[in-house]
Structures are given as C-alpha cells and as structure tokens.
Structure 1
Amino acid sequence: MNEKVNRRVTLAAQPVGAPKDSDFQMIEGSVPVPGDGEILLRTIYLSLDPYMRGRISAARSYAASVEIGQTMVGATVSSVVASNHSKFEPGQLVLGYSGWQDYEVSTGKGLTRLDPNTGPVSTALGVMGMPGLTAYVGLLDIGQPKTGETVVVSSAAGAVGSVAGQIARLKGCRTVGVAGTAEKCRYTVQEFGFEQCLNYNDSNFVERLKDACPGGIDIYFENVGGKVFDAACALMNTAGRIPVCGMISRYNDTALPKGPDTLPRLMRAILTRRLLVCGFIITDHGHRL
C-alpha cells in the first residue's frame, strides 16, 4: 500500500442487476490523522462477502444500506500504525470493520486484538471469524445434526459451506456438497473431506443428487437458492431441517425468476413432512465470537 495516500472505494450508484465498475468510485486522499483517544489503522486483509450485495441495494434488509458516496463496508484485519489510545499500541493487529480503504481512524470501539502466535491472522475473517460462526450457528443451532444423518451443503467450496460440511462430518454425518465447477467439487472432496460433491451445472444434477442421497436429506444447509434449493427440498426427509444462510443465486435479480412457481410445492413439503425452514442473521450472534 502507498504510505502517503489513502485509497478508498465508495458507492457511486446502487446497482441494477449485477454490480458493474461504474457503480463504484476509487477516491485517493491524504492519510487521516488520529486525535486524542484515537488510533490509525492500516488495512492488511479485507473480506469480500456475499452479504455486501444486499448492503448496496435500496431494498429492505436486516442492515442499513451503504449510502451513495459512503465507503464500502467490510470486515478487515488491520495493523495499528499510530495510537493516542491507552489500550492500543503501534504494531498490534486487530479485527475491525474498516471497509474498502487503506487507512481508517478509529476510537477503538468494536475492535478485537489478534494474536499472530495462535495462527494466521487472516483466519479471523474466515474459519475463526464471521463465516466460521455462520456455519457453526446454522448447522448446530438450527440443523442439530445427529450421527448417521445426511447433510447437503450448497456453495460447499465457499467460506461458510466448507466449514459447515466439516462440522457435519465431525458430528458423524454423511456430507454431500454442491458447487458450480468440477474444480470446486474436487477441492471440496479432497481438501474439506466431503464424501461427495456435485456440480449443479451438470445437465443430470437432479438425478445425481437423488443418487447421492438414496435415503433422503435430513439437513440442507442453504446458501444459494434457485434450482439447487428446489432439488434439495424434493428430497427432504420428514422432520428435516433447512438452515437458510443465504440466497446467492437471487441477489442480482430484478424480477421474479422465469419458470413454474415452485412455492406451492415447497409449502406442501414443509407441511406434510413437518420441515423446519429457519433463516438466521449472524450479526444476531456476534457476541459468540
């Protein structure tokens, strides 16, 4: 990073459909100076997460939208460059929410000090941070896995899905992942230990999911929505659980998806099979980190 310039990315326009370059603006300015009781942070790692798409939309959501001209939000691992704060010293590493910028002045509120001796500090933005907690809460609190059950995880190669699948395995469950490329599926099996991983872009995906779950699905960890959700719901067992973490495939929609209305079929399945379908927002559980 340039030590003399603070680069920050701001929201220039609320995207319509998929975000494009012109929806954002890069602004270069001077590095801010901390005042009394403040510290200067330099961003080392920035986490780009799917929830950000909702934060740049005008639609009602669980958190306020980023305003036009405002710096984009995002969790960060930062180094303390200068400190006028009694609890922070230069050189310390912290987990914070500085967003898409090189530097930020902070009062220290909401920061968590990190110890690089306990492991890579980047894990504070992954398995040991918000994505890891998301997988933990969704699978254990809502999914409540039992030994021998079949767990299907969408977006299984992602930060949340990969952890959810590994927790399921530790609980003695069969784990079937779903991802969008053959390479992601290979990685999911070889690196994350899923028993199988299916490519939802394969023409025979629905049939392959049935073959992978001959006894049905007990827990479907939902990250994407769309045809994966429809295929999984059709295989849910009685008293199955569906933790709803995200609907990535629908985040850029500007209209209802084409095709038949699958809601009546879903509602019938929820009723007749006594399914638990539960959405959750991880910021409600932030105190557990």
Structure 2
Amino acid sequence: MIKNTQVILKSTPEGEPNVSNFAFTESDIPTLNDKQVLCKTLYLSLDPYMRSQIAGRHISGSIKPGDVLHGETVSEVIESLDEHYKVGDKVRCMGGWQKYSLHSAKDLNKISEHINPSSYALSVLGMPGLTAYAGLVWQAKPKAGDVVVISAATGAVGSMAGQLAKIYGCKVIGIAGSDAKCAYAKEQLGYDECINRGTEDLASRLDELCPKGVDIYFDLVGGEILNTVSARLAIGARIILCGLMAEYNQKERIGGPPPGFWIRSRAKIYGLVVYDFEHRRQEFIDVCLPLINNGSLKTREDIAQGIAAAPEAFCRLMKGANMGKALVKVS
C-alpha cells in the first residue's frame, strides 16, 4: 500500500509563519471510485494567498489546525478510472501539500506538451502569469509612454507584469526589498528603474522618477506603499489591486488611501481576482508562450526540493526572501 506524506497546519501562526506551525503526517491512499484519478505530485506552488487562507479570510476558503494545506500542483496521473486521463498524463490540479492526491476527473486540467518544463504551468504560464496578464493587459490597458509602477517587482506576478509593460512600450518603475532584487529587475527583467523600499525614500524617488505622475499602479502589497503611490497618480490613472503582502501576517487590516487621491486623478480602480479570468487562460497562454520561447519573457523559479522542504520554503516566501516563483519539487 502506497503511503501518502502530507503537510498539515499544526497551529495558526501569530504574525509571520514559522516551520513549527506545520507538521507531517502519513495516510493510506484511498481506493478509486467511478471517474476518479490518482495523481502523484511533481511540483507544488507556494503563494502568498495561502497565508490569508490560514488567517481565515481568503475567498477560496480557510485552513484550520489539522487540515492539509491547499495548493495548486503539477501532477502525474498514476491510476485512472476515467477514459480522458491515462497513466503518465501531466495535469494541473489542486493537489495540496502532499505527495499524492485523488480527484474527480472534472477537477483536472491537462498540461500541453508545449509547456516545457511543466513547472511553467504554475509560474509564468500559470496563475501568476495569468494574474499579471489579466491585470495589466485586460484591465489596465497600457499604452506606449504610460508610466507603470509595480510593487513586489521581482515576484512571480510582478516580474511578469513588468516585462509585459515594457513590451507595450511603457516606462516601468519597480519597487523591491533589496539591492539584489532591484539589480535583477533592471538587468534581467528590463525595468527602467527599481526602488529599494528598505533603503530609499519611496516618496521622493517616485517624485524624481515619475514627475508627471503614475499612469498605472500594479499593487501587490497594499499598506503604506499603496498610500504613497496613490498620492502621485496622473489624471486617468488605473490601479490594479491584486495583493496584500503588507498585511497577510497581520491580525488587523491596514487602512487604505484617502479617496481624494483617486477622485482628483479620476482614477479607475480594479479589484483583480484571477479566478474571474480562468475562462481566458488559453488565450493568455497562446499570446505568452511564443514570447517565452523567443526569450522576450523571462522567468525565474525558486524551487525547494522535497515535500519536507515546503514549510521552510513557505516561511521564506512570507519573509520576502524568495527570488521569483516559489515552488517545491515534490517528486
């Protein structure tokens, strides 16, 4: 009998999560029923929204002590009772933090053989890539010459959004948390400038770099950075509200910008929930896959090895210590 190693939430963290908040357990693989498919996890995606699930305030559900952590995976079919899936197929699914997962066939999505490596289905051609494309291209509608500011500039979503903005002919300013990340943003991702939020004065640097204001702000952080950028919007600005990294580890919500900032700039504010664009995923892939293949879009994956590494890798992510898309290579 195959044993399944799973990662469960041991205790709800106070503030930043610690490896002691997680535990490992083993369970038997259940017997398949009609139309079910058994999958072996190849790659597990780690994402900041998981901290919001642990806090019990994410739209996708909550995680309580004793629960297996949720998460999207690239998995391989190892047993199938559905004619549409055969052994060896690679699929994208909500496999969770575990070595094996059992699914109804309707909950699986085959991964095209053109997506290589298959981990890209969780990164540049997965949810982060779709998030960046939907927010920047479909919601903000960039024009050549627009000034675009992106917080968390080198993360999985930010790095994609920044590169897309450059492709559209925009001036792109990143905000990141270290000199190394700022250097990567400029030298590898093509950002025009990148501000180190830890060592530079964000307000004065934005005044210097964006003298006529910010046309598009892709917000992945919230908190004070959102306030600071909102005070410097151009007329007709578009703001994409996408992430809340500044408060995921906090008990209390952080107050937002005064509405007057948005009113005076006649800004359009978009709340971005990537699930709303799932039906357009293939459209996004069809556009971006050739750009990846010809080198126009670059990606970086921060891959931990083995399911046992998942808690530590997640804690690194929530400290902002990762570089690129956080993944775990499970098998």
Matches within 5 A, 1:4-83: 4-59=2-57, 61-83=58-80
Report what 2:243 is aligned to. Answer: 246
3-state SS in 2 of match to 1:156: coil
What is the aligned counterpart of 2:270 among 274, 278, 285?
A: 278
Q: For each residue in 1:106-140, what CA deviation from the matched residue of structure 2 results, as whole angstroms up to 9, or x when unmatched?
A: 22122111133442111100111111111111112
Distance in 2 (CA, whole Å) between partners of 1:41 and 1:174 is 44
- Indicate whether 1:160 and 2:157 are aligned: yes
Code of the residue aligned with 2:274 in structure 1: it is I
> What is the percentage of aligned positions where both structures have the same residue?
37
How many residues are treated as equivalent by the alignment?
281
SS at match of 2:246: helix
Secondary structure of 1:109's counterpart equals helix
Q: Which amino acid aligns with 2:72?
A: A
**What are the equivalent positions in structure 2 for 1:77-156 lying under 5 Å apart?**
77-156=74-153
Aligned partners of 1:242 and 1:205: how far apart in 2?
18
Segment of structure 1 superposing worse, 107-116 or 155-164: 107-116
Name the aligned partner's letter for residue 35 of structure 1: N
For 2:209, give the aligned amino acid: A
List runs of 5+ in structure 2 lacking aligned partners.
Answer: 282-331
- Shift of the alpha carbon at 1:238? 1.1
Deviates more, 1:122-131 or 1:77-86: 77-86
TM-score, structure 2 as length reference: 0.80
- Bigger RCO (CA 8 Å, 6+ sep): 2
Quote the residue 1:267 is aligned against.
Answer: 259
Structure 1 residues 66, 192: CA separation in 2 closer, same or farther (over 3 Å shift)? same
Question: Structure 1: how far apart are the matches of 2:252 and 2:110?
Answer: 43
| C-alpha spacing 1:255/1:95, structure 2 compared with 1 (3 Å) | closer
The code of the aligned residue for 1:40 comes to L
Distance 1:84 1:201, change over 3 A: same
Whether the aligned pair in 2 keeps the contact of 1:32 and 1:104 (CA below 8 Å) is no
Whole-Å Cα distance in 2 between the matches of residues 126 and 256 of structure 1?
28
Q: How far 1:223 sits from its partner (Å)?
A: 0.3
Aligned CA RMSD, in angstroms, stands at 1.9
